[in-house]
Every structure is written in structure tokens, then in C-alpha cells.
Amino acid sequence: MRALCATFVILLLLLSSSPTSLASPIEDLSQNSPSFDPLDELLQTIENSTAPRVMVIGIDGVRSDVAQISASRDESGLARMASEGAWTYDSNVGPISISGPSWSSMLTGVWCDRHGVMGNGFDNHKLDQHLDLIDRVERYDSSLKTASLVYWEPISNLIIGPGIADIQERYDEDAQVHERAVEILREDIDLDLFFVAYDDPDYAGHVHGFSPDVPEYVDAVKLADDRFAELLDVLDERISRGEDWLVIVTSDHGGGGSTLRGHSASSSVVDLTTFMMVRGGETVAGEIYGSVVVDVAVTALTHLEVPLPNGEAALDGRPLAFQPDLESARVPDCSAPIVEVTFSYIVPIVQGTLVLIIAVASFIFFKRRKSTTIDEEE
């Protein structure tokens, strides 16, 4: 495709270079600036427009079965991805279904037994020894334009690290994250790697419950899906102009296994399983088998043509969407801390405590009132 475009431009230049008595503006410029070559500049423009680019969308806390419910709608972005690319509703997030370990695995391409993140406290982590996706791209070629928009602060402060991406912003609401994401996709023509992390489904799950039977949670997943669909609409406009975009969308964990409002450190299948979808580039359309969260970084790097480390430094993920028959991923040897107190458990504990306090207070109040009534009657 690049060669074809370049040939077309060369022919146009040759046809337009007939002798004339007046020098063209390009000729004047080339005389004043001997180093200026309009052909080189045009070829560079063509190469930039067809250079590989990647958009990774992470949606926090999406159960696989609820992702399927959302994808059953005609306007769903997930449905579009499944119809146009590779997909699975059986992607494993690793042995610890907590945001810290899962986001770290997704962005570094290595499991928790290597990056050392076992919980949301990030105690004794080894992230400084394992580059995240954006850092690896920047070190390979700092001229590539990278952007990261997130809600959850540890992603930007710890997993990616401050000041790594060319555009690195955190917002207090998913609506703000989304508005900025649309703006960047529409206006930044130099963008090469775009990472966006939404959070509303995880919040809804912790407050109301992670379940297909909880309307608030299902609606939050649908809203995130709708926002993703809008990003696809904007991106498809760029693709129609010849840009080469790979899109990856997934989640860091499910929920509702150990407790209705939790997902932490759980061995439950619904906590450890979510969806993953890939579209564009060399993607082989159809269902993916054996998908794991560490595949995200490796798939993105492969499309961007960034060399992957070898030997002991080799990443754990695989570009499974491009090569479906690759061997199974390594099984990590790590476990969550014995005590991992998170919002998942705090909410039901607080709610249970409040109910108990109200019940005890009510019992004491009515007992005293009854005693007072009896005394007055006597």
C-alpha cells in the first residue's frame, strides 16, 4: 500500500514538472533552501499516514457475561469489534483478580510473579524492572506520539509512571475521560499510541453489585460500551483516510464471585474471566482461544513493529490475535496477600455494620418504650 501511494505521487510530480518560463513556488523554495526536497517531504507524509498505530481501551470491572449482554445490542462497540475482528469472552486475568495486579500485567506484558504487584497497595513492586507499553514505545522511538487518559490514579502514577506519555492525564469522572479521548482522536493527527481506561462499571459493581441481575451495573457496562462505540466512529474516519489502526479492548477483571460487590483476590471464575477483542492490522478474525491479559502489551508492540525482548527478558504475553495457534501462555506462580482489604469488602462490611447498629438501637428503643408504658399503666 505504501509503495503504491509513493508511486502515484512520483508520477504526479513527474507529470507536473514540465518546463515553464516561470519558476514554480516549489522551485523557488528549493533554490533558496538546497536541502529542501518536496518529493522526500511528500513521501514522509505518506509514510506517516500509513504508519502502524494502536488504541488500547481498558474498561475496569467488566464481567464476561455482562459484556455479552451489552454486545447483544445493535449499537454496541463490542458487537462491532466481534463482527470485524478477533474476540473472546473467556480471557483470563491471572490468579489475582484485583485492579493493581491486572492493570500491571496488561500494560507490562508480564505476570504478577515478575512485576511484583500483588494488590492495590503496590507493596514491594518491581515495576521499575519491567517497562510498561508506553514506556517501551517511547524508549524505542521517542518521536512516536503517545497518550494516556485514565480515571484510576495508580495506573498513571505507578504502573505507567508520571511523565512517560507525551499526553498523560487523569480525570475524576469517566465522562471527562471520554470527552478528552474524543477530542484527541479527532484533532491529534500525529497520535501513534492511545491508551484510555474507563472505571464506571467497577464503581457500579462495588456499590450495587457485580451481576447481570443488577440493573445499575449492567447499565454502567452498556454506557462504557457506548462510549467505546463513539471512539470507534471517530477512529473509523481516520482509517478511511488510510491510517493503519489496531484496536484492543478488554477489562482488568470481572466480579461478583466471592461477594456480590467484590472481586478481590478471588479464585472464582466470574472474577478471573473477562472479554478481549482485537481489530485491525494482521488480526485473524474469529474467536480467540487461550486469551490472557498479558497478551495486550505484546499484541500492541507487535503491530507497532517495536522489537520484543528475548531470553530471560521475554514477555509472557503473545500476539494471539495475529497467530491463533501459538502455545499456551506461561502460568504465573503468585498469590494475593493473606489480607487484602479493598473497597470490595469495605462496602458490605460498612453496610452490614450500619444495619446491625440500627437494628440494635431500634430494639433498645422499643424495649425501653415498652417498659415505660408498662410503668405508666401500673
What CATH number has the domain bearing residue 97?
A: 3.40.720.10
Indicate if 59 and 42 belong to the same structural domain: no
Domain that holds residue 137: 52-313
Output the pLDDT for position 244: 98
Identify which of 26-30, 75-79, 351-355 has the greatest average pLDDT: 75-79
Residue 115 contacts residue 289 (beta carbons within 8 Å):
no
Indicate if 87 and 218 belong to the same structural domain: yes
pLDDT at 22 exceeding the cut of 80: no
Indicate if 86 and 149 belong to the same structural domain: yes
The helix (H) or strand (E) run that includes residue 182 is: helix 174-187
Indicate if 37 and 176 belong to the same structural domain: no
Percent of the chain at pLDDT > 90 equals 74
Give the CA distances from residue 174 to residues 108, 152, 358, in Å, rounded to whole numbers and listed in that order.
23, 10, 35
pLDDT at 166 exceeding the cut of 60: yes
Higher pLDDT, 141 or 39: 141
Output the pLDDT for position 322: 98
Indicate if 20 and 74 belong to the same structural domain: no
Indicate if 114 and 43 belong to the same structural domain: no
Residue 230 in domain: yes
Total domains in the chain come to 2
Residue 210 in domain: yes
Instruction: Tell me which of 22-36, 186-200, 282-296 is least confident.
Output: 22-36
Pairwise CA distance, residues 356 & 266, whole Å: 27
Q: What is the pLDDT of residues 97-140, one digit of tens each?
A: 999 999 999 999 999 999 999 999 999 999 999 999 999 999 99
Percent of the chain at pLDDT > 70 equals 76
Domain finish residue from 296, 313, 330: 313
Q: Which three cell numbers stand for residue 67?
A: 459484556
Residue 377 in domain: no
Q: What is the pLDDT of residues 169-220, one digit of tens each?
A: 999 999 999 999 999 999 999 999 999 999 999 999 999 999 999 999 999 9
Instruction: Tell me which of 255-264, 316-325, 342-351 is least confident.
Output: 342-351
Indicate if 26 and 173 belong to the same structural domain: no
Output the pLDDT for position 264: 78
Indicate if 8 and 133 belong to the same structural domain: no
Indicate if 18 and 70 belong to the same structural domain: no
Confidence at 266, pLDDT banded by 50, 70, 90: confident
Q: How many CB atoms lie within 10 A of CB 208?
A: 18
Indicate if 34 and 150 belong to the same structural domain: no
Indicate if 36 and 183 belong to the same structural domain: no
pLDDT at 354 exceeding the cut of 80: no
| Mean pLDDT confidence for 34-56 | 65
Residue 151 in domain: yes
What strand order describes the sheet that includes 86-92?
167-170, 145-150, 191-198, 52-59, 244-250, 273-279, 86-92, 286-287
Domain finish residue from 313, 328, 360: 313
Residue 375 in domain: no
Higher pLDDT, 192 or 361: 192
Bridge-based pairing state of the strands 273-279 and 86-92: antiparallel
Q: What angle do CA 61, 56, 2 make, to 5 degrees?
A: 160
Output the pLDDT for position 275: 98
Output the pLDDT for position 16: 41
Output the pLDDT for position 276: 98
Confidence at 159, pLDDT banded by 50, 70, 90: very high
Output the pLDDT for position 357: 73
Q: What is the pLDDT of residues 50-101, one digit of tens each?
A: 899 999 999 999 999 999 999 999 999 999 999 999 999 999 999 999 999 9
Pairwise CA distance, residues 113 & 361, whole Å: 48
What is the reported pTM? 0.81
Residue 364 in domain: no
Output the pLDDT for position 223: 98
Indicate if 32 and 161 belong to the same structural domain: no
Average pLDDT, the chain: 85
Pairwise CA distance, residues 255 & 96, whole Å: 12
Output the pLDDT for position 324: 97
